[in-house]
Amino acid sequence: MTLNQAKEILEAKVITGLDNLETEVKIGCASDLMSDVLIFNKPESLLLTGLTNPQVVRTAEMADIKAICFVRGKTLDEKTIELAKDKNIILLMTHLPMFESCGRLYKKGLVGLGYLDINKKNG
Amino acid sequence: MIELKKIVKELNLKVITGSSNLDKEISGGYASDLMSDVIANSKKDNIWITLQTHQNIVAVAILKELGGIIIVNGRKLEEETLKKAKKENIPIMVTDIPTFEIVGRLYRLGITGMM
Amino acid sequence: MAEDKKFTKIQELTYELKIKDVMTKKVVTVHPKKPISELREILYKKGISGTPVVSKGELVGLISIEDFIKCLAQGEMNALIEEKMAKKVETLYADEPVVHAVRKFDQYGFGRFPVIKRNNKKLVGIITKGDIIKGLLKKLEIDYHEEEIHRYRASHIFEDIIADNTTLTFQYNVVGKDFDKAGESASGLKRTLYRLGIQPNIVRRASIATYEAEMNIVVFTDGGKLTASVQPHQIKIDASDSGPGIPDVKQAMRPGFSTAPEWIRELGFGAGMGLLNIKNCTDKMTLDSKVGKGTHLEAVLYLN
């Protein structure tokens, strides 16, 4: 699925990375806890989160996640946007809640991880 | 509308507490790991998907009259959470599957998440 | 010589880039059933000299400022656009290489070509010579940037240094309780490790471990130090602080165990997975802590 498609499905706004919407995402990751995103550690994922602080972008940077979609439409911290621009991370914003966002993307073919073992070696 | 026990069966969830309280109908889904968000936005009889295991989740479920809680990523419940949920007969289910995938499967069963 | 090389590079790019990569996607269009007079607004105010005529998403013609002026001279402002437009329009497909557009501009001497989809003739954009130049410059800039990074990559450093033992040390100061700055050290280290040419998945694991360690220092202490020691065979990460210390290290390692306050949890941290995550991302981890003295974490990743 391209981010352009994801954007359409989620009725989302593009905040940064307008030129990179052809980027492909292979897997969905939904979380409001950043450590779990880091455990998830799948580079080609689209991160959906209800958090909007700059650490979300940091987390994406560390885990090589290229795109984040903020759910439940809210105002973004200027620092978050600046950091995303600096780190070349694509930001989307949807008015839909997390549950609905995941459901719609899943229905259109974006899959999630079938199993997550928190005790497994990361690599 | 779908009964909680049907969800448990279809998605192969492990019921940890509240197994005698699975007859209720689920009104929709709410996925969040932020207590303040769930308190503000979840609806009565929603099924709540989270990876939080802190005892506060039981308090939030009671407060918002949620239908049940699904704990994802194979997280283990804290002792206090378990005790409280048992006492209040709140259905808590666990799965190894992460949020995105489990929500997708719930959505396929017809549970939506519009506010 | 250098100029020759650049020339070939640009030629190469005109084959590599597709028209859809450089075209303007937001196109001002007009409907065929509208009167000519409506063009005044569009052509003058937007400063464009011609616009595609579109009906139901499909391109049906092209109308230019010359057509408009002709109608103005002959007092035909109420004529419909479809009567005055050029119906036979030269177009380009979105998936054609830019070089086709270059040739077409040479051949026809037009200022612009509408771009349509190959399968359904839907208008998807418009391309001018300016778009091509902009697109090429942008691509050159990206390539140049990548070349720059490559040039500065210090991946050969270990081969260049002659010593029995080489260790590169990178040290970062972490400010406690400053949630906005948190992660800057891990970010700096990540970039540095890339420059050293270390494998991306190892860089990622090292960055995640460092970031978690940094978060712990930020959340629980008044500050500390992060040190990465890179040797040809391993990366060692040290995180030390003189904060409150951990009373029960074994308990702290348990997934989900956390003493973080609620506000930290609401920011997405402190759910008791950090230390476990560090352990899982690295090949060896040790944690020493004394209550009232501080905490020292050491984690090692083997290269290759």
CB pair distance less than 8 Å for C200 and A58: no
Q: What share of chain B is helix, strand, coil (3-state, %, to 5)?
A: 35, 20, 45
Nearest to C256 among B33, B34, B53 (CB): B53
Is some CB atom of chain C closer than 8 A to the CB atom of A41?
A: yes
Query: A107: which chain B residues are within 8 Å (Cβ-Cβ)?
Result: 104, 107-108
Residue C243: φ, ψ to 5°: -85, -155
| Contact at CB, A116 and B98, closer than 8 angstroms | yes
Cα–Cα distances (Å) from C258 to A84, C183, C246, C249, C273, in that order, read: 29, 20, 11, 11, 8
pLDDT at residue A121 above 90?
no
Size of interface A-B (CB pairs under 8 A): 122
Per the DSSP assignment, residues forming a β-bridge with A111 are: A27
Q: What is the pLDDT of residue A47?
A: 97
CB contact under 8 A, B76 and C255: yes
Per-residue pLDDT of chain C (304 residues; tens, 9 = 90+): 444 444 567 777 888 889 999 999 988 899 999 998 888 877 777 777 788 999 988 999 989 888 888 888 888 888 999 999 988 888 999 988 898 899 899 888 888 899 999 888 899 999 998 999 999 888 888 777 776 666 566 667 777 888 999 999 999 999 998 888 899 999 999 999 988 888 888 999 999 999 999 999 999 999 999 999 999 999 999 999 999 999 999 999 988 888 888 888 888 888 888 998 999 999 999 999 999 999 999 999 999 7
In chain A, % of residues over pLDDT 90: 76
Q: Which domain holds residue A8?
A: 3-107
Burial category of C257 from C-beta neighbours within 10 Å (exposed 0-12, middle 13-18, buried 19 and up): middle
**What does the pLDDT look like over B82-103, one tens digit per residue?**
999 999 999 999 999 999 999 9
Q: Which residue of B has its CA nearest to C260?
A: B54
Which ipTM was obtained for this model? 0.96
Please tell me the distance in Å from B81's CA to the nearest CA on chain C. 12
Reported as half-sphere exposure (CB side, CA atoms, 13 A), residue C295 has a value of: 24
Which chain C residues contact residue B34 at CB under 8 A? 265-266
SS3 C5: helix
Q: Enumerate the residues of chain A whose CB falls inside 8 A of the CB of residue C277.
A: 35, 38-39, 122
Place of tokens 């944690």: C287
Percent of chain B whose predicted confidence (pLDDT) is above 90: 84
* C125 neighbors C115 (Cβ within 8 angstroms): yes
Min Cα separation C255/chain B (Å): 8
**At A4, which amino acid appears?**
N
Q: How many domains does chain A have?
A: 1
- Round to the nearest angstrom and report the end-to-end CA distance of chain A: 25
CA dihedral angle for residue A24, residue A29, residue A31, residue A33, rounded to 10 degrees: -90
Long-range contacts of C169-173 (CB under 8 A, 24+ apart): C169/C227, C169/C228, C169/C229, C169/C230, C170/C227, C170/C228, C170/C230, C171/C225, C171/C226, C171/C227, C171/C228, C172/C225, C172/C226, C172/C227, C173/C223, C173/C225
CATH 3.30.565.10 fits C166-302, yes or no: yes
| pTM reported for the whole predicted model | 0.71
Which chain A residues are closer than 8 Å to B72 by Cβ?
Answer: 116
- Taking an 8 Å cut-off on Cβ atoms, the answer to whether A62 and C271 are in contact is no
Cβ-based neighbour number of residue A18 at 10 Å: 9
For residue C151, what pLDDT is reported? 58
Residue from C211, C212, C304 to probe the interface with A (highest A Cβ count within 10 Å): C211
Q: Does B53 touch chain C (CB under 8 A)?
A: yes
Separation of alpha carbons A59 and A95, rounded Å:
22
Q: What are the beta bridge partners of residue C190?
A: none
Q: First and final CA of chain C: distance in angstroms?
A: 41
Given a contact cutoff of 8 angstroms between Cβ atoms, the answer to whether A116 and A46 are in contact is: no
Q: Give how far A103 is from chain C: nearest CA, Å.
A: 22
pLDDT tens for each residue of B41-60: 999 999 999 999 988 899 99
CB contact under 8 A, A39 and C273: yes
Q: What is the CATH number of the domain that holds A9?
A: 3.40.1390.20
pLDDT score recorded for residue A123? 55
Contacts of B82 in chain C (CB under 8 A): none
Cβ-count burial of C292 within 10 angstroms (0-12 exposed, 13-18 middle, 19+ buried)?
exposed
Spatial CA neighbour of C49 closest among C121, C110, C115: C110
Helix-strand-coil percent breakdown of chain A, rounded to 5?
A: 35, 20, 45
Query: Does C255 touch chain B if contact means CB atoms closer than 8 Å?
Result: yes
Tell me, yes or no, whether A89 lies in a domain.
yes
In CATH terms, is domain B2-108 a member of 3.40.50.2300?
A: no
Residue type, C203: V
Architecture of the domain whose range is C2-138? Roll (3.10)
The span from the CA of C79 to the CA of A47, in Å, is 53
Q: Which residues of B touch A95 (CB under 8 A)?
A: none
Are B67 and C297 in contact by the 8 Å Cβ rule? The answer is no
Nearest to A34 by CA among A55, A64, A65: A55
